[in-house]
Protein backbone atom coordinates (compact mmCIF):
# COMPACT_ATOMS: atom_id res chain seq x y z
CA UNK A 1 0.00 0.00 0.00
CA UNK A 2 1.36 3.43 -0.91
CA UNK A 3 0.16 6.97 -1.31
CA UNK A 4 1.85 9.51 -3.56
CA UNK A 5 1.63 13.20 -2.72
CA UNK A 6 2.98 16.27 -4.49
CA UNK A 7 6.48 15.53 -3.24
CA UNK A 8 6.53 12.51 -0.89
CA UNK A 9 5.57 8.91 -1.51
CA UNK A 10 4.32 7.05 1.58
CA UNK A 11 4.65 3.26 1.58
CA UNK A 12 3.51 0.93 4.34
CA UNK A 13 6.16 -1.49 5.58
CA UNK A 14 3.75 -2.91 8.16
CA UNK A 15 0.72 -1.55 10.04
CA UNK A 16 2.90 0.69 12.26
CA UNK A 17 5.89 1.36 10.00
CA UNK A 18 6.04 3.66 6.98
CA UNK A 19 8.66 4.67 4.45
CA UNK A 20 8.38 8.33 3.47
CA UNK A 21 10.33 8.69 0.23
CA UNK A 22 11.45 11.50 -2.07
CA UNK A 23 11.56 9.71 -5.43
CA UNK A 24 11.44 12.90 -7.52
CA UNK A 25 14.95 13.82 -6.41
CA UNK A 26 17.99 12.04 -7.84
CA UNK A 27 19.06 10.83 -4.38
CA UNK A 28 15.73 9.05 -3.76
CA UNK A 29 15.95 9.62 0.00
CA UNK A 30 13.96 7.49 2.47
CA UNK A 31 12.83 8.51 5.95
CA UNK A 32 10.98 6.05 8.19
CA UNK A 33 8.12 6.52 10.63
CA UNK A 34 7.84 3.91 13.41
CA UNK A 35 4.79 4.09 15.66
CA UNK A 36 4.83 2.61 19.16
CA UNK A 37 2.16 2.64 21.86
CA UNK A 38 3.46 5.84 23.52
CA UNK A 39 5.68 7.53 20.98
CA UNK A 40 6.46 7.64 17.29
CA UNK A 41 9.98 7.77 15.89
CA UNK A 42 11.00 9.36 12.61
CA UNK A 43 14.33 8.09 11.31
CA UNK A 44 15.83 11.01 9.35
CA UNK A 45 13.81 13.86 7.82
CA UNK A 46 15.01 13.96 4.22
CA UNK A 47 15.91 16.83 1.96
CA UNK A 48 13.76 19.65 3.30
CA UNK A 49 12.08 20.35 -0.05
CA UNK A 50 8.62 19.29 1.14
CA UNK A 51 7.07 19.54 4.60
CA UNK A 52 7.64 16.10 6.09
CA UNK A 53 6.06 17.33 9.32
CA UNK A 54 2.65 17.49 7.65
CA UNK A 55 3.08 13.96 6.31
CA UNK A 56 3.92 12.61 9.76
CA UNK A 57 0.91 14.39 11.28
CA UNK A 58 -1.34 12.70 8.72
CA UNK A 59 -0.07 9.28 9.85
CA UNK A 60 0.09 9.60 13.66
CA UNK A 61 -0.89 11.87 16.54
CA UNK A 62 1.74 10.38 18.86
CA UNK A 63 4.64 12.56 20.12
CA UNK A 64 7.49 12.25 17.61
CA UNK A 65 11.18 11.68 18.33
CA UNK A 66 13.52 12.22 15.40
CA UNK A 67 16.51 9.85 15.27
CA UNK A 68 19.26 11.09 12.94
CA UNK A 69 21.31 8.36 11.25
CA UNK A 70 23.99 10.94 10.50
CA UNK A 71 24.24 14.69 10.05
CA UNK A 72 24.44 15.08 6.28
CA UNK A 73 22.25 17.67 4.58
CA UNK A 74 20.09 15.16 2.70
CA UNK A 75 18.98 13.46 5.95
CA UNK A 76 18.23 16.47 8.14
CA UNK A 77 16.33 18.84 5.83
CA UNK A 78 13.07 18.42 7.73
CA UNK A 79 14.47 18.58 11.26
CA UNK A 80 13.11 22.13 11.50
CA UNK A 81 9.56 20.74 11.68
CA UNK A 82 10.23 18.79 14.91
CA UNK A 83 11.21 19.60 18.48
CA UNK A 84 12.69 16.34 19.81
CA UNK A 85 15.93 15.50 17.99
CA UNK A 86 18.37 12.65 18.72
CA UNK A 87 21.82 12.22 17.15
CA UNK A 88 24.98 10.28 17.97
CA UNK A 89 27.41 12.26 20.07
CA UNK A 90 30.12 12.08 17.37
CA UNK A 91 27.97 13.98 14.83
CA UNK A 92 26.44 16.43 17.32
CA UNK A 93 29.10 19.08 16.68
CA UNK A 94 27.89 19.45 13.07
CA UNK A 95 24.30 19.78 14.25
CA UNK A 96 25.20 22.45 16.80
CA UNK A 97 27.77 24.40 14.79
CA UNK A 98 26.99 23.66 11.13
CA UNK A 99 28.35 21.48 8.34
CA UNK A 100 31.79 22.38 6.95
CA UNK A 101 30.30 22.72 3.45
CA UNK A 102 29.31 26.00 1.73
CA UNK A 103 25.52 26.37 1.53
CA UNK A 104 25.77 27.32 -2.15
CA UNK A 105 27.34 23.91 -2.91
CA UNK A 106 24.54 22.12 -1.06
CA UNK A 107 21.91 24.14 -2.94
CA UNK A 108 23.48 23.11 -6.24
CA UNK A 109 23.32 19.43 -5.28
CA UNK A 110 19.78 19.83 -3.99
CA UNK A 111 18.47 21.32 -7.25
CA UNK A 112 20.45 19.04 -9.55
CA UNK A 113 18.19 17.79 -12.36
CA UNK A 114 14.96 18.90 -10.67
CA UNK A 115 12.11 20.05 -12.90
CA UNK A 116 10.17 23.08 -11.70
CA UNK A 117 6.81 21.30 -11.88
CA UNK A 118 8.09 18.60 -9.50
CA UNK A 119 8.85 21.01 -6.66
CA UNK A 120 6.21 21.97 -4.07
CA UNK A 121 4.77 25.44 -4.72
CA UNK A 122 5.85 26.76 -1.33
CA UNK A 123 9.51 25.77 -1.71
CA UNK A 124 11.99 28.55 -2.47
CA UNK A 125 15.65 27.60 -2.85
CA UNK A 126 16.66 31.15 -1.88
CA UNK A 127 15.28 30.53 1.61
CA UNK A 128 16.88 27.10 2.02
CA UNK A 129 19.09 26.70 5.07
CA UNK A 130 20.77 23.74 6.77
CA UNK A 131 19.32 22.83 10.16
CA UNK A 132 21.34 23.93 13.15
CA UNK A 133 20.42 23.34 16.77
CA UNK A 134 21.22 21.57 19.99
CA UNK A 135 20.02 17.95 20.09
CA UNK A 136 17.72 16.82 22.88
CA UNK A 137 19.63 13.56 23.26
CA UNK A 138 23.19 12.62 22.28
CA UNK A 139 23.18 8.92 21.51
CA UNK A 140 25.85 6.30 22.21
CA UNK A 141 26.46 2.78 20.95
CA UNK A 142 24.00 0.26 22.40
CA UNK A 143 21.52 2.86 23.65
CA UNK A 144 17.93 1.62 23.64
CA UNK A 145 14.83 3.69 22.84
CA UNK A 146 11.44 2.37 23.94
CA UNK A 147 8.49 3.74 21.94
CA UNK A 148 6.03 1.71 24.00
CA UNK A 149 6.14 -2.04 23.28
CA UNK A 150 8.54 -1.24 20.48
CA UNK A 151 12.24 -1.11 21.32
CA UNK A 152 15.00 0.25 19.09
CA UNK A 153 18.71 -0.38 19.56
CA UNK A 154 21.27 2.20 18.46
CA UNK A 155 24.31 0.70 16.74
CA UNK A 156 27.23 3.06 16.17
CA UNK A 157 28.48 2.40 12.63
CA UNK A 158 31.06 5.09 11.76
CA UNK A 159 32.79 5.34 8.40
CA UNK A 160 30.38 7.35 6.27
CA UNK A 161 30.39 9.92 9.07
CA UNK A 162 31.97 9.83 12.55
CA UNK A 163 28.59 9.49 14.28
CA UNK A 164 26.73 7.38 11.74
CA UNK A 165 24.30 4.93 13.32
CA UNK A 166 22.07 2.07 12.24
CA UNK A 167 18.83 1.45 14.11
CA UNK A 168 17.97 -2.16 14.88
CA UNK A 169 14.55 -3.42 15.88
CA UNK A 170 15.30 -6.97 16.93
CA UNK A 171 11.70 -8.11 17.47
CA UNK A 172 10.77 -7.43 13.85
CA UNK A 173 14.27 -8.02 12.49
CA UNK A 174 14.35 -4.57 10.87
CA UNK A 175 17.70 -2.87 10.33
CA UNK A 176 17.51 0.78 9.28
CA UNK A 177 20.88 1.26 7.61
CA UNK A 178 21.11 4.97 6.76
CA UNK A 179 24.01 5.40 4.31
CA UNK A 180 25.96 2.35 5.44
CA UNK A 181 24.15 -0.11 3.16
CA UNK A 182 22.04 0.45 0.06
CA UNK A 183 21.99 -0.60 -3.57
CA UNK A 184 24.11 2.13 -5.17
CA UNK A 185 27.48 3.77 -4.60
CA UNK A 186 28.67 3.65 -0.97
CA UNK A 187 30.80 6.66 -0.11
CA UNK A 188 33.92 6.81 2.06
CA UNK A 189 36.06 9.28 0.11
CA UNK A 190 35.10 12.57 1.76
CA UNK A 191 37.58 14.05 4.29
CA UNK A 192 35.17 13.27 7.16
CA UNK A 193 34.77 9.61 6.13
CA UNK A 194 36.98 6.67 7.04
CA UNK A 195 37.23 3.51 4.88
CA UNK A 196 38.64 1.35 7.70
CA UNK A 197 35.88 2.37 10.11
CA UNK A 198 33.33 1.76 7.34
CA UNK A 199 34.64 -1.78 6.90
CA UNK A 200 34.59 -2.38 10.66
CA UNK A 201 30.96 -1.19 10.77
CA UNK A 202 29.98 -3.58 7.97
CA UNK A 203 31.54 -6.45 9.93
CA UNK A 204 29.70 -5.27 13.05
CA UNK A 205 26.21 -5.34 11.54
CA UNK A 206 26.91 -8.66 9.84
CA UNK A 207 27.22 -10.13 13.34
CA UNK A 208 23.55 -9.40 14.14
CA UNK A 209 21.66 -12.66 14.50
CA UNK A 210 18.19 -11.77 13.28
CA UNK A 211 17.68 -9.51 10.27
CA UNK A 212 14.51 -9.95 8.23
CA UNK A 213 14.67 -6.69 6.29
CA UNK A 214 17.12 -3.95 5.40
CA UNK A 215 15.63 -0.46 5.20
CA UNK A 216 18.15 1.84 3.48
CA UNK A 217 18.51 5.61 3.30
CA UNK A 218 18.51 5.83 -0.51
CA UNK A 219 17.40 4.34 -3.82
CA UNK A 220 15.73 0.93 -4.04
CA UNK A 221 13.57 0.31 -0.98
CA UNK A 222 13.48 -3.46 -1.45
CA UNK A 223 17.01 -4.76 -1.12
CA UNK A 224 17.94 -8.33 -0.18
CA UNK A 225 19.36 -9.08 3.26
CA UNK A 226 22.18 -10.95 1.53
CA UNK A 227 23.52 -7.55 0.42
CA UNK A 228 25.06 -7.29 3.91
CA UNK A 229 27.29 -10.28 3.26
CA UNK A 230 28.09 -9.13 -0.29
CA UNK A 231 29.31 -5.72 0.92
CA UNK A 232 31.38 -7.41 3.64
CA UNK A 233 33.04 -9.65 1.04
CA UNK A 234 33.66 -6.62 -1.16
CA UNK A 235 35.50 -4.83 1.64
CA UNK A 236 37.50 -7.99 2.30
CA UNK A 237 38.46 -8.01 -1.38
CA UNK A 238 39.50 -4.35 -1.29
CA UNK A 239 41.60 -4.97 1.81
CA UNK A 240 43.30 -8.00 0.25
CA UNK A 241 44.19 -5.87 -2.76
CA UNK A 242 45.66 -3.26 -0.40
CA UNK A 243 43.22 -0.62 -1.64
CA UNK A 244 41.42 0.17 1.63
CA UNK A 245 42.32 3.86 1.68
CA UNK A 246 40.91 7.13 0.42
CA UNK A 247 41.88 7.88 -3.16
CA UNK A 248 42.00 4.24 -4.27
CA UNK A 249 39.04 4.88 -6.59
CA UNK A 250 35.63 3.37 -7.23
CA UNK A 251 35.41 -0.39 -6.72
CA UNK A 252 32.63 -1.95 -8.78
CA UNK A 253 30.66 -5.02 -7.73
CA UNK A 254 27.47 -6.72 -8.91
CA UNK A 255 24.75 -4.46 -7.44
CA UNK A 256 26.76 -1.70 -5.75
CA UNK A 257 29.97 0.32 -5.86
CA UNK A 258 32.31 1.47 -3.11
CA UNK A 259 34.00 4.82 -3.66
CA UNK A 260 37.11 5.38 -1.53
Q: What is the mean pLDDT of residues 10-18?
A: 97
Asked whether residue 197 is domain-assigned, the answer is: no
Q: With the C-alpha atoms ordered 46, 78, 194, 236, is the resulting torsion angle positive or negative?
A: negative
Asked whether residue 40 is domain-assigned, the answer is: yes
Reported confidence tier of residue 2, pLDDT bands at 50, 70, 90: low
Domain that includes residue 135, residue range: 2-184+209-222
Asked whether residue 243 is domain-assigned, the answer is: no
Asked whether residue 253 is domain-assigned, the answer is: no
Asked whether residue 38 is domain-assigned, the answer is: yes
The enclosing domain of 159 has a CATH number of 3.60.15.10
How many angstroms separate the CA atoms of 174 and 170, rounded?
A: 7
Asked whether residue 94 is domain-assigned, the answer is: yes
How many angstroms separate the CA atoms of 123 and 127, rounded?
A: 8
Count of domains observed in the chain: 1
Residues found in the chain: 260
pLDDT in tens, 136-157: 999 999 999 999 999 999 999 9
In this predicted structure, the answer to whether residue 4 has a pLDDT above a threshold of 70 is no
Amino acid sequence: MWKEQKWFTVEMIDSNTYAISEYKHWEKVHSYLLIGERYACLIDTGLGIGNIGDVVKSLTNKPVRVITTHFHWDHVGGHKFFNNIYIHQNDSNWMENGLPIPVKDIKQKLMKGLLQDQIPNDFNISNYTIYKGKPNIKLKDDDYIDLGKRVLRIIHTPGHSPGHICIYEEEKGYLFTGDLIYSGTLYAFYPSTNPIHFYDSIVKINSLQKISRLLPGHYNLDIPVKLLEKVKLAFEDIEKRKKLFQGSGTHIYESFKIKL
